[in-house]
Amino acid sequence: MGAVKTKRMPRAVREQQMLDAAVRTFGQRGYMAASMDEIAELAGVSKPLVYLYLNSKEDLFTACIRREATALVAAIRAGVRTDLPADRQLWAGLRAFFAHTAQHPDAWSVLHLQARTHGEVFAAEVTAMRDEIVTFVTQLIAAAAREAHRNPDLPEREVAGLAEALVGAAESLAAWANATEGVTARQAATTLMNFAWSGLGDLMAGRPWSPPEEEPLTRPGG
Amino acid sequence: MGAVKTKRMPRAVREQQMLDAAVRTFGQRGYMAASMDEIAELAGVSKPLVYLYLNSKEDLFTACIRREATALVAAIRAGVRTDLPADRQLWAGLRAFFAHTAQHPDAWSVLHLQARTHGEVFAAEVTAMRDEIVTFVTQLIAAAAREAHRNPDLPEREVAGLAEALVGAAESLAAWANATEGVTARQAATTLMNFAWSGLGDLMAGRPWSPPEEEPLTRPGG
Amino acid sequence: MGAVKTKRMPRAVREQQMLDAAVRTFGQRGYMAASMDEIAELAGVSKPLVYLYLNSKEDLFTACIRREATALVAAIRAGVRTDLPADRQLWAGLRAFFAHTAQHPDAWSVLHLQARTHGEVFAAEVTAMRDEIVTFVTQLIAAAAREAHRNPDLPEREVAGLAEALVGAAESLAAWANATEGVTARQAATTLMNFAWSGLGDLMAGRPWSPPEEEPLTRPGG
Amino acid sequence: MGAVKTKRMPRAVREQQMLDAAVRTFGQRGYMAASMDEIAELAGVSKPLVYLYLNSKEDLFTACIRREATALVAAIRAGVRTDLPADRQLWAGLRAFFAHTAQHPDAWSVLHLQARTHGEVFAAEVTAMRDEIVTFVTQLIAAAAREAHRNPDLPEREVAGLAEALVGAAESLAAWANATEGVTARQAATTLMNFAWSGLGDLMAGRPWSPPEEEPLTRPGG
DNA sequence: GATGAATGAGTATTCATTCAT
DNA sequence: GATGAATGAATACTCATTCAT
């Protein structure tokens, strides 16, 4: 099992192989239960090589977190068109988020579970990324308030709390969507938009938030 | 440090001391980093006694999860009066939830972080409790829909997703409230009710959800 | 090989067995080449027990140095009668020193070679003991000067240098005596007294230092 | 740090650079703690090149010992004029010895400490050199005895013991002189001549050995 | 009931050494 | 001639777990 044993690769390539193996192992076994032996074997290299390139288990884990955090943020960024109204932007970001986490479950486990559970240092690493996202959402909310010409100065902390709640709900739904057979990224995003934008009150009253006409992620037009 | 070394206590008492020590240690160090040595010392007993009563590290951890899950559910239950309207019930439940997690951070760390991060077996244990809560919330949502005489048959999966989102948002806010200086359980609950019940759309339009008149948790009347 | 595997000994006894094994291993293999595995096996216990009692390789080594340094100083002290003239005291001390190092070659290797070669911390440990001996010798030299009613104030540094030279010569002779077939502690001590007390000049002129009549270490009389 | 990376040097030069780096590293870190990586880096070459030229860590260490032993003996030889009386020869040899060890502390550490502490093979290498010196001293003592027309046949073993003691004292004083602020090679040599030639007895009686008039090491005349 | 004594099975990490280019 | 890539074999240290008393 593991990568085919191809000898003599340039360092950059080998490092990515190692990170792949590490993300998979950390994601499935957990940070502490993952052994460097297993990671090395899965990467198809000897343990000393892992240490030569990545220094230590901690450094290796940090490298995993950084790579995956960057990738997740990039995926979300790539999905959002900043010239659209706030709810559309949110909708696009959520779809990208749910799609990415569904496609990289081990990476998501590393970011969402493992990194938060094994020490401040690692947690800080994810927090940095998460803050980026929360800030993005916070700005969207503020923009929406401006667009609505109403309630323009919700207290800052209130907005922060709302963004936090939204991001938290998204994180939770990601796990739920991955675990529930047949829930697509699109459906998860729709559910969350309903919940977050319209609120349960409006929902009960039959006023759901409605997703825009088909608007493929890849095509630019509207 | 640790429990005072008092000899010859009834088994039930000793067990609770061990669980106290274990929850604290697991919550702070994490499941794997917590050593049985440390737990035994903190509990003020010898290691073999821990094994005699709790069998193994896994069993000990499971016992912690069960005890704290039960306690959390009980706390929420105690805060909710089932004869009130759905949003009032939700509001009360959230207040109880935020209050309890703020008062027992180690227990919350065990339930929310540690148990989910170290193997299916433990995760299943919390999932059981979480499902109980999600079910409760699901029923509240269904009840609200009925009360509104509208939209009475939201698809079941949709409701499940909404409940999941709500619970996830609550969990996230709990961490945020604990980490943010000066955010009380009441404020966290208010923020979440705004978010969940009114939705961002209504909020932006200046239609927040408003908490009921002071309604202390301890007094029955309204 | 190694100690007979006797189970369940009190801690103090086991510790001494471990130190015995460690001194032997460190003395023969050297500090770094000695493996904790080998020491544990030679001591007839498992490695974790060694760590439980002695904490780490460094602590174990330090414990060896301390025990053997104390033993060596005690042996020398036990051989010296402080009411005799200076040269007699020196003679007795040297005999005791050569006898002890000959009987405990591994301990001597630990003190003289290993401890000095593997880090300041260990070196300081022996230096403390060596200083005790150098001080003793320095006092003897000063006493001798006083007895001779001459040259009573040799510069302090000069006396220190002489003591250093004497102790160094003794250390060297100890290795030589141990390595040379048929050289007894008595002979080594005589050679050194000749060298140190009479000096080569007097020796050449036919004026050796002469050891006292048989004066067994145990009997008090002269 | 380390040698400047100059490409394409003749093998002989590269080897000396490697030996320089090795002596320094072995002298400071100790044989076992010194890593081939560090030595190669300090020498400014790649590790495989070190192996190509010097074969193995053991061979490298042996090469260091040989080079430094040869250099030390040569330095002593260069300082001695064989047509002078025995005590003058000894005095000159000691000055050269103390001067050389003071100027090459890492080399001295390799010869005096490291080589003796890490296995018979290396120890034998120094012993060979040391025997040369001991033999030289032995001959000096025998010559002195002849010059004095007295005591012409001290037992051979006795002379060997005396030479051993003298060399041992010198070795010890070298370490002491290097460690003690402000002790010059000349002072160390004087102290040792006093001790070895006059003996403590004569010293106490006010009859020290007196160094000859200024007799610089470089100028031939007397 | 309670514990001091003891260990099997790992884990991260390092190092001397060698190919393939 | 010179090196980047790679590893087999060890080593210090830890931990959950169990007897014998």
For the segment D44-90, what is each residue's pLDDT rounded down to a tens digit?
Answer: 999 999 999 999 999 999 999 999 999 999 999 998 988 888 888 98
| pLDDT at residue number B138 | 87
Cα atoms in the 13 Å half-sphere on the side-chain side of D30: 18
Does the structural domain D59-204 have CATH classification 1.10.357.10?
yes
How far apart (Å, rounded) are the C-alpha atoms in residues D76 and D68? 12
Does the structural domain B11-58 have CATH classification 1.10.10.60?
yes
Q: List all residues 6 or more positions away from A105 whose beta carbon is below 8 Å from its beta carbon.
A: A27, A178
Query: CB of residue B56 closer than 7 A to nucleic acid strand F?
Result: yes
Does the structural domain D11-55 have CATH classification 3.30.450.40?
no
| Res. A219: pLDDT tops 50 | no
For every one of its 222 residues, what pLDDT tens digit does chain C have, with 9 covering 90 and above?
444 445 688 999 999 999 999 999 999 999 999 999 999 999 999 999 999 999 999 999 999 999 999 999 999 999 898 888 888 898 999 999 999 999 999 999 999 999 999 989 999 999 999 999 998 888 888 887 777 665 556 677 778 888 888 999 999 999 888 888 888 998 899 888 888 887 776 766 666 666 665 545 444 443
The whole-chain average pLDDT of chain D stands at 85
Which member of D169, D176, D183 has the closest CB to residue C169? D169
| Res. A17: pLDDT tops 70 | yes
Positions of chain F reached by protein Cβ under 7 A: 1-21
Tens of pLDDT along D38-53? 999 999 999 999 999 9
| Residue B113: band (very low, low, confident or very high) from pLDDT cuts 50, 70, 90 | very high
The region that residue A182 occupies, defined by phi over 0 for left and psi between -120 and 50 for alpha, beta otherwise, is left
| Res. D94: pLDDT tops 50 | yes
Total Cβ atoms within 10 A of residue B25: 25
How far apart (Å, rounded) are the C-alpha atoms in residues D13 and D15? 5
| Res. A20: pLDDT tops 80 | yes
**DSSP secondary structure string, C93-132?**
HHHHHHHHHHH-HHHHHIIIIIHHHS-HHHHHHHHHHHHH
Considering only CA atoms, give the Rg of chain B: 20
| Res. D2: pLDDT tops 50 | no
How far apart (Å, rounded) are the C-alpha atoms in residues A189 and B116? 24
Where along chain B do the CATH 1.10.10.60 domains lie?
11-58
Where along chain B do the CATH 1.10.357.10 domains lie?
68-204
Go through C38-66 and write b for each residue having 16 or more CB atoms within 10 A of its CB, e for each that does not. Answer: bbbbbbbbeeebbeebbeebeebbbbbbe
Query: CB of residue C10 closer than 7 A to nucleic acid strand F?
Result: no
| Residue B111: band (very low, low, confident or very high) from pLDDT cuts 50, 70, 90 | very high
| Token duo for residue D82 | 């064989």
| Res. D8: pLDDT tops 80 | no
Query: Does D150 sit within 8 Å of C206, measured CB to CB?
Result: yes
Tell me the shortest Cα–Cα distance from D32 to chain C, in angstroms.
7
| Token duo for residue A156 | 């800052």
| Token duo for residue D86 | 């025995």
How far apart (Å, rounded) are the C-alpha atoms in residues A136 and A147? 16
Write down the residue that tokens 């105690």 correspond to.
Answer: B78
How far apart (Å, rounded) are the C-alpha atoms in residues B57 and B119? 13
Write down the residue that tokens 């409701």 correspond to.
Answer: B159
How far apart (Å, rounded) are the C-alpha atoms in residues D33 and D29? 6
Q: DSSP 3-state assignment of B85?
A: coil
Go through A46-72 and write b for each residue having 16 or more CB atoms within 10 A of its CB, e for each that does not. Answer: eeebbeebbeebeebbbbbbebbbeeb
Quick one: DSSP state of residue B153? T
| Res. D215: pLDDT tops 80 | no
Which is nearest to B209 in space by CA: B33, B86, B114? B86
How far apart (Å, rounded) are the C-alpha atoms in residues C95 and C86? 14
Q: Could you tell me which residue, B111 or B14, shows the higher pLDDT?
A: B111
| Res. B175: pLDDT tops 70 | yes
The region that residue B209 occupies, defined by phi over 0 for left and psi between -120 and 50 for alpha, beta otherwise, is beta
Does the structural domain C65-204 have CATH classification 3.60.130.10?
no
**Cα first-last separation, chain A:** 46
Residues 5-24 of D with CB under 7 A from strand E: none
| Residue B31: band (very low, low, confident or very high) from pLDDT cuts 50, 70, 90 | very high
Q: What angle do CA B174, B176, B177 make, to 5 degrees?
A: 65
User: Are residues C31 and C64 in contact, defined by beta-carbon separation less than 8 angstroms?
Assistant: no
Which member of C164, C188, C191 has the closest CB to residue D173? C164
Nearest-by-CA chain D residue for C189: D161
Q: List all residues 6 or more positions away from C213 whose beta carbon is below 8 Å from its beta carbon.
A: C222
**Neighbour subunits, A (≥3 Cβ pairs < 8 A):** B
Looking at this protein, which amino acid is placed at residue A13?
A: V
Q: What distance separates the 2 farthest-apart alpha carbons in chain B?
A: 65
Q: Could you tell me which residue, A209 or A192, shows the higher pLDDT?
A: A192
Q: Which residue is nearest to nucleotide E3 (CA to C1')?
A: B46
| pLDDT at residue number A194 | 84
The region that residue A218 occupies, defined by phi over 0 for left and psi between -120 and 50 for alpha, beta otherwise, is alpha
**Cα first-last separation, chain B:** 45
Q: What is the distance in angstroms measured between the alpha-carbon CA of B33 and the sugar C1' of E5?
A: 25
Total Cβ atoms within 10 A of residue D6: 10
| Res. B160: pLDDT tops 50 | yes
Average pLDDT, integer, range B126-154: 80
| Res. A21: pLDDT tops 70 | yes
How far apart (Å, rounded) are the C-alpha atoms in residues C23 and C107? 6
Within 8 A of B195 by CB-CB distance, chain A residues are: 161-162, 165-166, 196, 199
Residues 37-56 of D with CB under 7 A from strand F: 45-49, 52
Q: What angle do CA A106, A109, A113 make, to 5 degrees?
A: 160
Where along chain D do the CATH 1.10.10.60 domains lie?
11-55
How far apart (Å, rounded) are the C-alpha atoms in residues A113 and A179? 15
Looking at this protein, which amino acid is placed at residue B128?
A: A
Positions of chain E reached by protein Cβ under 7 A: 1-21
Lowest mean pLDDT among B183-192, C9-18, D1-10: D1-10
How far apart (Å, rounded) are the C-alpha atoms in residues C29 and D120? 10
| pLDDT at residue number B219 | 42
Q: How many beta-carbon contacts under 8 Å exist across C and D?
A: 173
| pLDDT at residue number D35 | 94
Tell me the shortest Cα–Cα distance from D162 to chain C, in angstroms.
6
Where along chain A do the CATH 1.10.357.10 domains lie?
59-204
CATH of span B68-204 = 1.10.357.10
User: Are residues C145 and C155 in contact, defined by beta-carbon separation less than 8 angstroms?
Assistant: no
Write down the residue that tokens 């929420």 correspond to.
Answer: B76
- Secondary structure, 3-state, chain D: CCCCCCCCCCHHHHHHHHHHHHHHHHHHHCCCCCCHHHHHHHHCCCHHHHHHHHCCHHHHHHHHHHHHHHHHHHHHHHHCCCCCCHHHHHHHHHHHHHHHHHHCHHHHHHHHHHHHHCCHHHHHHHHHHHHHHHHHHHHHHHHHHHHCCCCCCCCHHHHHHHHHHHHHHHHHHHHHHHHCCCCCHHHHHHHHHHHHHHHHHHHHCCCCCCCCCCCCCCCCCC
| Token duo for residue C26 | 């460190």
| Res. B21: pLDDT tops 50 | yes
| Res. B157: pLDDT tops 90 | no
Looking at this protein, which amino acid is placed at residue A3?
A: A
How far apart (Å, rounded) are the C-alpha atoms in residues B157 and A173? 13
User: How far is residue A35 CA from its own chain's centroid?
Assistant: 25
How far apart (Å, rounded) are the C-alpha atoms in residues C169 and C182? 19
Q: What is the distance in angstroms measured between the alpha-carbon CA of B121 and the sugar C1' of E13?
A: 31
Q: What is the distance in angstroms measured between the alpha-carbon CA of A11 and the sugar C1' of F8?
A: 21
Q: Could you tell me which residue, B211 or B95, shows the higher pLDDT?
A: B95
Which is nearest to B25 in space by CA: B60, B56, B77, B66? B60
| pLDDT at residue number D127 | 92
